[in-house]
Structures are given as C-alpha cells and as structure tokens.
Amino acid sequence: MTMIPMHEPCEPTRSFLHLTACRLLALACLALYAVASRPAPAQTDPSVPALLLGSAWYPEQWPESRWDADLALMEAAHMHVVRVGEFAWSRMEPAEGQYDLDWLARAIRLAENHHIAVVIGTPTDAPPAWLTVKYPDTLRMDENGRLAQHGGRRQFNYSSPRYRVFCAEIAGRLAQRFGHDPDVIGWQIGNEYTDESFDPATRTLFQQWLQHRYSTLDALNQHWATAYWSQTYDRWDEIPLVATGGNPGLLLEHRHFVTDTWRDFQRVQIDAIRKSAEPRQFITTNIGGLAWSDHFDHYEITRDLDLASWDDYVGQGQLDSMRNGAMHDFVRGWKRMPFWVMETQPGSVNWAPINTTLNRGETRVMAWQAIGHGANAALYWQWRSALNGQEQYHGTLVGPDGEPMPIYSEVTQIGSEFERTSPALRDTQPVAQVAILESYDSRWTIDFQPHNRNYDELQVLLDWYRPLRLKNLTVDIVNASAPLDGYKLVVAPGLNVIPPELAAHLRAYVEQGGHLVLGPRSGMKDEYNSLNPQRQPGPLVSALGGRVEQYYALDGAVPVSGALGSGTATIWAEQLTTLASDTRVLLRYGKSNGWLDDQPAMVTRSLGKGSITYLGALLDAPLMQQATAWMLAGAHVEPEFASLPLDVELCRRVGTGHTIYILLNHGAQPAEVALPAPMTELLQGDAQVRAVTLAPEGVAVLEESTGATGR
C-alpha cells in the first residue's frame, strides 16, 4: 500500500482537499499556482527605503474628506506603506454581486500623492451579514456544535466550498482592479487565520482526507493502534472530528488536516490574485497568535507565500526582549529569509487582562529589535481609534479626534531613523552559525500529552535560546527538515517525533562535520504519533551510542553535576545509558528517587567528522549556560561581538562588504559599550566611534566595513 508522507509537502494531498470541496458544489477546480517555485520579489528600487514604516488604515470607517489629512500625518511620520481593505468586505460588496471599489481606488491615489505604497488585504476574515445570513453553511461550528454568529469576525467556515467561491471572487475582483496599480506593492490574504470548524461537512472532508492519506482502514487502524479501547474503525464515516482528548494519532492528523485546509483556503485566493496581478506584487498573510500557538504548521502555511509576516504584540506588561527576539527569529525561519511585521502595538492593546502601555522609548526599541532580527518593515495597528466596535480602547497613533496621540512623536522618530539608515541596511540580513530546530509534529505531540503540567514548550525553547543569545550570537530557528550544512552547531530542544527520513537528515549533518545536541523527549514518537519501538532517541540510538532507559516527570529539583559543572534539573529528567565504548558521560544525576541516582543525564559521541549529544533533563539557567559554553567550544563557534552589559541586546545583519550591528538597551540604567573595532554610528551624524553610551531604552546602529565578503 502507498502511504502519503505526513509532514513533507504533498501536492496530491493538497489538491485532494480542494477538489473534494469543489465537487460538493459541482464547481470547476481553480488551477494551483506554484508560488513557492517563483523567486522571492527583489529588493525595491534604490529610491524606495529598504526599511519600511507604516500602519493599518481603514478609510472606509471615516468620511472621505478626512483621508488626505490622515495621509499627510503619515507622510510627516516618514511612513511609506499602509495596509488597507482586510475588514472592508461590506463596503466592497454591499450586496451579493454588487461591487464598489471606486472608493478604494481613490484612497490608493491619495496615498500615492503622499508617497505611500499600499498593501491590500483580502477581506475574507470578516464576511458581510448578507453572506452569512443567506448562506449559513459558510458559518463555522465549534467543537460543541454551536454555529458562530455575525457581529464579530472569523465566523466563517474555513472548509466551506461556498465560502471559498465568494473568497475567490472578491480576491479576483480586487486583483483585476489593482493588480497592475503602480502603488500597490503587495497583498495580504485574510487576517490571522485562527479558528477551525467542526461541522458535519468538515468532518466528512476530514474522513475523505484520511482515506486519501491512508488508502485503507487497516493501515489507519494499525498506525493508530485502535485495538486500544475498542477504537477500531470499520467505515471511514465512523471516525470522529475532535481537537482534544482523542486517539493521539487522530489528534495529530487533525492538525495536519487543519494545516492543509488553511493552506488550501489561502491558495484559492492566491490563485485568484495571480491571474491578474503583476509578479512584482508580493503575497503574504499576517500570522497572529504571538507567532507560536496556532493549530497549524507555519512552515507549511508560508510555503506558498512570497514572504512571511506576523503580528507582534506585548499585551500586558513590558517587552520581554528574549522571548520577542526568539519569536522574530522563529518567523524568519519559516521561509529562511527576511520578513515583515504586519502589525505591532502602538503603546497598548485592549485585549490583555491589564492593558498597560509600553514605556516611553520602548516602542522604538521594539521596532529596532524587529529590524535587528531580520524584519524589513514594521506596521502599526492601528492608525486611528474607531468610534465604535470591539476594539475602541486599542492603542492608536491618532485619536478619534484625528489629532496625534503622544506615541505619534516616537513613531515619527522611528520613521526618520529608518529613512536615515536604509541605505546601509539594504540587502543585509542576519547570518547565523547556530540553529535551533523546531517541529510542529513534535510540539503538538508533547502538547497533547505533556505528562507534567509544568512542561511549557515555549519556555523550553527559551531556556535553550537564552544562553546562546547571551553569548551575543545570531540564532536561526528553523524547521528540522531544513538544510543544515551552513551551521556549526544545531540544537534541538524537543524533537519528540523523529521519523526515519529526519533521522537520516540529522545523521548526515553530523557525519559531515556538524555538531548536534538533542534535548529531552527526543525520538519518542514516529510520524503517526505512535511510540517508537526503540527507546529514545529512536532511530538515532545507534548514532548516539546510547539511549533513554526511562523518563521521569519531576515535582521537585534533582541535583546534576559533572565535567560541565553543577546544578539542578526540574520538571523532566531522563535516565540515560551508554551502549558504545566511545560514548562519554558529561553529566550525572545526584541522589534523587533511587532510579536516577548517579545515572547519566547527558552523553556525547563523535560520529564521522562531527558529534551527537543528548541532554535528557531541563537544567537550571546557570548549568544550562555552562552546557551551552561547552557546546559552542566543541563546535568552534566564534563570538560575533565583544562582551556586553547584561541588559544590552546585540543584533547583527550582514551585507556585502559590511556588517550592521544594532545595540538595544532594555535596562533601566545607561550602558557603556566598548566596540571591538572602529564603527560608524548611523544615528548620530555618521561619526567614527570606538564606544557608545546607550540611555535606558536606547538604540545604536553601527556599521563596520568587513571587506568584499562580509564576516
């Protein structure tokens, strides 16, 4: 029997969902356009800034007489781009089949008069009332069988064939009108894909999707071990559609189905736009959920897009620079190229438990952090306070009276600085010696069965990420299947799912000279979310020359010590053993539960030209820093900058013949930074300097000449 790969791109699987949906309405299938095969859009011409500042703008909410004043304020703030249209379906199509795009054309022409380019959002996140009332099959159903109602957004059913037709039609109409407009530079599909549907038609699609993937029920029953609890299925239509509490194999496949369904929903609109739009116009979508928590695979969703973008919000409190930086690196890794921040908060939001405001200067630091981690654009949400609606209290740049809010002056400073530094930052991007591997399958499988309620995968990622960044290193966070040959060190905090193909990929990296470090829970599962018959790390046991004998969820601290130092493990610990004579023990547990006493906690082995290491515990921060220092030394990873004060963050972007360093002071006190070489301070008159003083929430942008090849 032929099985469809679970996580790699599979065009038969993608097209199956689309074809099935279209057959339900007896409609012709839209041809799939291979966006991913096209090269990414080239850098804009030199007359356009390399760094773009902008805002979400909703002209449909305001009298047309107000538009020019808004755009004049944007131009004065050095903004060069606006996003429009993504919630304006009822204005674009006030009644079924009756279109009015003239107002949008006038808004775009006014923006052009103010030297502001436009990204058009397809309005498919918020369908009009006439659509959902007349066609209730387009409404989403939650897991408890309740239909969403009009009056909010995201009330649509992402798998509805009828809704796909309406989406394709409105996207196509927009592209016909603006696909050759010189001021329209790109398109955003919908807005923050979020909610799946559990209606009967979607359940049928899920069952058909499973049939296409597995071919036979025998194969499905075998891989899901459905003999457990009499779950064996005799017909495809017996299989439920659930998101929690089900068979682990079913839960993982539902996430794959959700990913495929969103990707197909997106491609219907991509195809409609590409029929009329010029290739120079990019297509993206803005990923929400703090870039981390959605129920779909972002690597797959962005595969068909020209660039990745996300929405960067702090919510309550102040900027967590380490977490926010990691999320930027995570987004950059979706397509392994520079990205956009399509939304960021202008001081405050309205949805947090306590909607605190960022400190003076913090919005500027947040913008420059995005640039430092690889963003080429930062747009604020939103421009002006809506007089009514659910987000009245959300932070804005302009108040309901049309006058600038206090944050406007800080954003104006950001825009001026972006313009000043754009020539130096053009065609630069972060370049890393170190990568962290992520896998949605692994993350989901742990989330389904954490085994310890305190096991927080984002925190685990940050615990591995932080000591690397404290060494002033650029870090890529990439899909586990991504090319690895450019990295000296690769760490994988939690590859719970390691199929044979991935194991071969990782082993080849090591044998060719790479240094791989696996974290706890690695290799426990196969691609069907079944336990590997081998002990952890599953198919990499022979490469490691060691294995996990047992895992333990901890409710207290366990001592750990060895050649790398001493400390403790909490939350999770694995008892390791060595199977090869050349596998070395680096750390051991101290007296604990008897089972862990004096047992290996971390082992390593040379393999080919490289090495493979397994760390089976979640270590405290000091010991993790010592372990990280050992990893870097063994991989010959060189520092990118001299030592820095604790609260100062270093970001590095490399171009041909020069390197840009961005220094950010996240602390409450001034910081003195000595530079390793003379550099040009781009924000302070282009002076040559050997040291800089950073005020609290201070920023320095430095350029160093590095010769023809960079560094």
Catalytic residue positions? 192, 343
CA distance 693 to 192: 39
CA distance 81 to 341: 12
- How many Cα neighbours within 13 Å face the side chain of 335? 23
Token pair belonging to 330:
């995570």
Q: CB neighbours of 29 closer than 8 A, spacing ≥ 6?
A: 15, 18, 19, 22
Q: CB neighbours of 633 closer than 8 A, spacing ≥ 6?
A: none
> Alpha-carbon Rg of the chain, whole angstroms?
26
Strands 117-121, 52-56: pairing kind? unpaired
User: How does DSSP classify residue 258?
Assistant: H
Q: CB neighbours of 594 closer than 8 A, spacing ≥ 6?
A: none
CA distance 187 to 166: 17
Under a CB-based contact definition with an 8 Å cutoff, are residues 495 and 517 in contact?
no
CA distance 223 to 499: 13
Helix (H, G, I), strand (E, B) or coil at 652: strand
Q: Cα angle at 331 between 328 and 333, to 5 degrees?
A: 110
Phi-psi sector, 85: left (phi>0), alpha (psi -120 to 50), beta: left
Under a CB-based contact definition with an 8 Å cutoff, are residues 524 and 556 in contact?
no
Q: How distant is the alpha carbon of residue 340 from its chain centre?
A: 11
